[in-house]
Chains A and B, each alone.
Chain A
């Protein structure tokens, strides 16, 4: 398996623009997570899905953030409009169970909002 695949690897955009981050989880994994990494807060859980259904989005910072999982092999995280404080590394991860040591992360998307 190719692992969790995220795109793009890097995104540079201007404040106010819409940003869409993409994720392909490992086939057969029922859970998909979106995390954000910053120096100040470390790895924060934004939202997670079970069988394509959003279960907990309490970590989504603002209404500007939205996430979808239209099918088992694809998820998006959208920021509209983007702000400089959204600059961070965004990780997607998937696992077989909600709690599983084997939480597989993608390589992340480095987002810079100017």
Chain B
């Protein structure tokens, strides 16, 4: 059973608008969450993270929000750019410290 769920396989957004990527998790013991970005024919790369003691972390155009009661986090990209088109993976730090990834959401930003 998936412990980290990304229920939207794809998302299409107009350039300049906001992109919102969602992620749900089932294990309330998870205490650290990350987003990775993956371009075609490349490996995933770290984008942004958040600790469970926070509800928001911002880095430039990227903001991650965490709602612990709902076991939900989201990644906001504002404004979206064509170069943001990629697959975005949500991940949680597992009990042993290894990362547990979701299935990914493919973001397409249209010019």
What residues of chain A have their CB less than 8 Å away from a CB belonging to chain B? Answer: 4, 33, 35, 39-45, 48, 56, 91, 93, 97-99, 101-108
Contact = CB atoms under 8 A, between A and B. Distances in A.
Given A56-B96, A105-B43, 17 more contacts: A35-B101, A40-B103, A41-B2, A42-B101, A42-B102, A42-B103, A43-B102, A45-B100, A91-B44, A97-B97, A98-B96, A99-B93, A99-B97, A101-B34, A102-B46, A105-B44, A106-B43
A107 B41 contact: yes
Contacts of A98: 96-98
A43 B44 contact: yes
B99 interface: yes
Contacts of B101: 35, 42-45
Contacts of B99: 45, 99, 103
A48 B89 CA distance: 20
Contacts of B45: 105
B97 A108 contact: no
Contacts of B103: 39-43
A17 B41 CA distance: 25
B96 to A, nearest CB: 7
Contacts of A99: 32, 93, 97-99
Interface string B21-52: 00000000000101000000111111001000
Contacts of A56: 96, 98
